[in-house]
Amino acid sequence: MSAPRPLALVTGGAKGLGRDLCLQLAGAGYDLLVNYLSSESEAESLTAEIGGTGAVAWRHRADVADEAEVSRLFSTADATGRKLGLVVNNVGIYDPRPLRQIDGVGWERTIACNLNGAFHVCRAALSRLGRGGQIINLGVAGNQMNQAEGFATDYYISKAALLQLTRAMAAEYAADGVWLNMVSPGQLVNSIGEVGGAPGLVPMGRDGTFGDIWEAVRYLLAAKYVTGANIEVAGGYRL
């Protein structure tokens, strides 16, 4: 009998980019644990679709901003009987508005999900991932430029902080054989957050696609000497 496929856990995996990554990972040899919060019907449909590819998929509702719910999410991962090999932190809140319109509730909600949630997920994953295990965090193009944004300030700050968290964890866990990297999309034509950007601002002359993001993820899955990296998939946007 062949060995069980490794398990990939994708947060926010039921829709959009997360959904596409789940399907791609199923085709690349992983079984999937799909995390979702409110998209139950989409998660159910996706796990059934993955099952039709020959992979096995589970779904688990959890708010990653809640550490206790993240603990239960990883208990589900443990119960699959699969060895955890990959975690993709894809979930994120993007609610673009000027800084003067962001109130305390909105600020706390964005930071809790995009930064604290990723920390909770990484922390739980790092206690389980063995040598060769990987975490890939999703960022945003330009998150290392220290550039002031005129909108979605809470989002961009959360992603800039996530980049530094990724680097810090990568440095600490490299000796354990666990790699942490970031993939930072630019404008995506089929993104939930930015539906059709302004291709004229992109030197390559087009918005990106989910397929472009998968190419970067696939590279990291094969790379054996890359950790703490931030791969911008943005067609030169914000250079």
CATH number of the domain that 97 lies in? 3.40.50.720
Distances from the Cα of 4 to the Cαs of 56, 73, 138, 148, 214, in angstroms? 10, 20, 27, 47, 23
Distances from the Cα of 202 to the Cαs of 124, 197, 212, in angstroms? 37, 9, 14
The answer to whether position 77 is within a domain reads: yes
Angstrom distance (rounded) from CA 75 to CA 147? 39
Lowest mean pLDDT among 55-69, 135-149, 163-177: 135-149
The answer to whether position 139 is within a domain reads: yes
Question: What per-residue confidence (pLDDT) applies to 95?
Answer: 87
**The token pair that represents 209 in the structure block:** 């696609």
Is pLDDT above 70 for 149? no
Q: How confident is the model at residue 199 (pLDDT cuts 50, 70, 90)?
A: low
Q: Percent of the chain at pLDDT above 90?
A: 79
Backbone angles phi, psi at 136, to 5 degrees: -120, 120
Is pLDDT above 70 for 193? no
How much is the CA Rg of the chain, to the nearest whole Å? 17
The answer to whether position 126 is within a domain reads: yes
**The token pair that represents 100 in the structure block:** 């003067």
Question: What per-residue confidence (pLDDT) applies to 147?
Answer: 59
Angstrom distance (rounded) from CA 170 to CA 143? 17
Lowest mean pLDDT among 135-149, 155-169, 191-205: 191-205
pTM for the model: 0.93
Is pLDDT above 60 for 195? no
Angstrom distance (rounded) from CA 53 to CA 49? 7
Query: Structural domain tally of the chain?
Result: 1
The answer to whether position 218 is within a domain reads: yes
Residues spanned by the domain of 123: 7-233
Say which residue, 145 or 174, is predicted with more confidence.
174
| One-letter amino acid of 134 | Q
Q: How confident is the model at residue 207 (pLDDT cuts 50, 70, 90)?
A: confident
The answer to whether position 1 is within a domain reads: no
User: Residues in the chain, how many?
Assistant: 239
Looking at 155, 156, 173, 237, which residue is catalytic? 155
Is pLDDT above 50 for 39? yes
Question: What per-residue confidence (pLDDT) applies to 192?
Answer: 46
Mean pLDDT throughout 45-66?
97
Is pLDDT above 50 for 185? yes
The answer to whether position 238 is within a domain reads: no
Is pLDDT above 60 for 196? no
Q: How confident is the model at residue 146 (pLDDT cuts 50, 70, 90)?
A: low
The answer to whether position 130 is within a domain reads: yes
| Residue 155 a catalytic site member | yes
Angstrom distance (rounded) from CA 52 to CA 66? 32
Backbone angles phi, psi at 87, to 5 degrees: -125, 130
Q: How confident is the model at residue 30 (pLDDT cuts 50, 70, 90)?
A: very high
> Which strands, in side-by-side order, build the sheet including 57-61?
57-61, 31-36, 7-10, 84-89, 134-138, 179-185, 230-233
| One-letter amino acid of 91 | V
Lowest mean pLDDT among 50-59, 76-85, 153-162, 182-191: 182-191
Angstrom distance (rounded) from CA 91 to CA 56? 21
134-138/230-233 β-pairing: unpaired
The answer to whether position 29 is within a domain reads: yes
